[in-house]
Structure 1
Amino acid sequence: MGNLSRLLKESWTLVEEQQDKVAGYFYARMFLSNPELRDLFPTQMDVQRARLLGAIVTAVQTMEDPDRFEEYLQSLGRDHRKFHVEPQHYDLVGNALLEALRTFAGERWNIEYDQAWRDGYAVIAKKMMAGAAADTNPPYWNAEVLAHERRSRDIAVFTCRPFYPLDYRAGQYLSIEVPKYQPRLWRVYSMANAPRPDQTIDFHVRALGAGYVSGALVRRTRPGDLIRLAAPMGSMSPDHSSNRDVVCIAGGTGLAPVKAIVDELSRYNRTRWVHVFFGARDRDDLYDLADLNAMANKYPWLTVVPACSDDPGFDGEQGNISEVIARYGPWNDHDFFVSGSPAMVKATMRTLAGLQVPSIRIKYDAFTDG
């Protein structure tokens, strides 16, 4: 699969700088040729436009890691059941994708690239369909919002309970739809607690810009409202067999999966020190610090270090959390979990590389709010 992966990555560079146009053309071709597919997608396509292409490109990038490739695509197939995707739809998507790539690569496109994308997409589709076919769960879970609290100018923490048991692991994420306000529009959020006997799940959400779903979840959702949850995804979960101490680095609402990991560790950990570094722009954005400090008071193995990057009056660490982590340590023998915006995760990974932390000990989640 090495040569196939090389050809896919090489050919993608021909269109990468035009990927917004590629995505627009891709959806236009798909909907013109197959108008019935339009009903599977949300009314607002501005953010959705890059998502399907992004998922395919992510799959291409993981192809050289067979285990990760398999897990990602099977999870993606399960997740796409929420769109009522049928096996025949995969061919329609593949045809539109190839046409878009050919169009924007122009004369640089060749028969070798064409065949590589046919073969690569066939593998991707097969594994996604296998993941969907093997899933005995519903396409999505209806859930009731039980509690909702605004924690800052644009952040809310809410708790919901699915009507049907939803199994997941601490550190995972899922897509949420708010049918009352934004039907057929799904956005990804991490669970903020380990699974509980009562099936309740906490989420931390920030509303930014034109975040249709995040805006609805932060500003309009109330207890009693119904939302929909899709299949859990992600592999940023703690390794129960490891005896190394743990460092969690969270930026903004990237705290959610970190909090779930700490919650899980609290149920069995007796020997591992856990350090949580929580970064935000100002103290208002340290929206869950009181609860983190309460956990640190309860668990002697837990320490919490908050930091603000733009709040000179804050009585704590100053600077980006990716810089703050370097002031502590040494971190030679720890398991790391990093969660936040793509820029925050990238900066943190650079810092950890400079501190000579082996990449195999780092799990991370990069996301964009809204």
Structure 2
Amino acid sequence: MDSRTVALMRTTFKAVAAEEGGPERLARSFYAILFTDHPHIRDLFPAALDAQRDRLVKAIGFVIDRLEEPGALLPFLAQLGRDHRKYGVTAEHYAAVGESLQAALRGYAGTELWTDEVERAWRAGIGLIAETMMSAAEQEDTPPYWTGTVVEHRAVLSNLSVVRVRLDQAMRFAPGQYVSVQIPARPRMWRYLSPATPPTADHEVEFHIRAVSGGWVSPAVVGHTRVGDKWLLGAPMGGLGVPRNTRRKLLMVACGTGIAPLRAQLMAMTQRRSNPKVHLFVGGHHPCDLYDLPALNDLALAHKWLTVVPVVESDENPWWHCESGEPEPAYPGLAERRVGQIGKVVAAAGPWPEHDVQIVGSPSMVQTTKFRLMAAGTPAEHIRHDPLF
């Protein structure tokens, strides 16, 4: 894609998104146009579109920001195309989405900004995106989605559960990747979850899920999942992972259930002959949020290349957390617990300019930690995280 096309697309989108309420209005307009002009497509989407609208705008922004980075963008689009097979999408659907997006952008950009040249630029850009996704989907020989049965649902906290799903057939995924999941209680509502374990011989996948206040899917998983439930899983996505035979030291930073993809990578690394030094900072608001410390302690005790540093923002548990009455367990494999905002703690513990960095958590946590590390001297190209949507 030439620089002029990229500039026109980026300028148009940024102008629309910069208006007050622009991203939300753009998403609402897009779906209104799509479902009016192509009513049969409505059945592919959930009844509630709030999360879908938010993800749409963030996804467009992610793609727009990387139009000049084909090495990063094209693999992401290919993964997205393979994942979208679960919806049963066809070339007709891609064309309908492209036309509706252009119509929505045109409506908000106005005649002064939306010129014939801008129209051609967006048509070319959307065409390249759709072609990349469709080509990857057509070349894929794996199932459009996997089916699995819940074999364990364990409540870890009042709002956090560990769920193990046994797949009906093997899924090839790299530790650190994530998959979309659909549960019986929320049809057509797919949510991204990261496996907390590498692939196993019995095809079992472990997920860590925290119920998000006001969410549709995560509270249903935590509160209503039962052994025997049938789940659907989409194609693996994401670019986190540790190359074999790497000599570069690693810094991993996670908050809450963000520990899952990092934990999966560490478990896979234990099967290798040698590994670089790894520093893992795992954070939570309260000590009870550090729910996976027993497993991390065992990993650190068994493997001297791993250093685990727990971090909490408050050294006391909240009033609503039911204490067991037992003394807090000792974790001899872990570093001393630190108190503070995790991004600040990690940056102060550096410097980390020679480390490859992975950050997993909420979008705000990822961005704050990334900026603090960059300010402390860590090059941006050494820092990785999955798309924040």
TM bracket (short chain): over 0.9
Correspondence for 2:49: 45
Q: Secondary structure at the match of 1:14?
A: helix
Contact 2:269–2:275 (CA under 8 A) maintained in structure 1: no
Q: Is it true that 1:116 corresponds to 2:137 in the alignment?
A: no
* Distance change >3 Å, CA 307–CA 61, structure 1 → 2: same
Q: Which moved more, 1:198-207 or 1:304-313?
A: 304-313
User: Could you report, residue by residue, the CA deviation over 1:77-126 in whole angstroms, capped at 9, with x for unpaired residues?
Assistant: 11111111111111111111111001111243222221111110000010
User: Could you report, residue by residue, the CA deviation over 1:235-263 in whole angstroms, capped at 9, with x for unpaired residues?
Assistant: 11112232122111001111111111111
Contact 1:173–1:189 (CA under 8 A) maintained in structure 2: yes
Contact 1:236–1:337 (CA under 8 A) maintained in structure 2: yes
Contact 2:62–2:387 (CA under 8 A) maintained in structure 1: no
Correspondence for 2:11: 10
Q: How many residues align?
A: 367
**One-letter amino acid matched to 2:346:** I
Q: TM-score, normalised by structure 2?
A: 0.90
* Distance change >3 Å, CA 213–CA 67, structure 1 → 2: same
Give distance in 2, aligned partners of 1:22 and 1:330: 42
Q: Secondary structure at the match of 2:50?
A: coil
Contact 1:312–1:318 (CA under 8 A) maintained in structure 2: no
Give distance in 2, aligned partners of 1:269 and 1:159: 28
Q: Secondary structure at the match of 1:360?
A: helix
Q: Is it true that 1:170 corresponds to 2:163 in the alignment?
A: no
5+ long unaligned stretches in structure 2: 318-327, 329-335
**One-letter amino acid matched to 1:250:** A
Correspondence for 2:78: 74
Correspondence for 1:316: 337
Correspondence for 2:363: 342
Contact 2:279–2:306 (CA under 8 A) maintained in structure 1: yes
Contact 1:76–1:128 (CA under 8 A) maintained in structure 2: yes
Q: How does 1:244-255 map to 2 (within 5 A)?
A: 244-255=248-259
Provide the aligned C-alpha RMSD in A: 1.7
**One-letter amino acid matched to 1:8:** M
**One-letter amino acid matched to 2:108:** F
Give distance in 2, aligned partners of 1:22 and 1:223: 41
Correspondence for 2:159: 154
Give distance in 2, aligned partners of 1:149 and 1:366: 29
Give distance in 2, aligned partners of 1:361 and 1:263: 22
User: Could you report, residue by residue, the CA deviation over 1:50-73 in whole angstroms, capped at 9, with x for unpaired residues?
Assistant: 333433332222221112121011
5+ long unaligned stretches in structure 1: none
Give distance in 2, aligned partners of 1:271 and 1:230: 31
Correspondence for 1:95: 99
Deviation at 1:223, TM superposition (A): 1.6
Contact 1:171–1:237 (CA under 8 A) maintained in structure 2: yes
* Distance change >3 Å, CA 367–CA 251, structure 1 → 2: farther
Deviation at 1:46, TM superposition (A): 1.5
Q: TM-score, normalised by structure 1?
A: 0.95
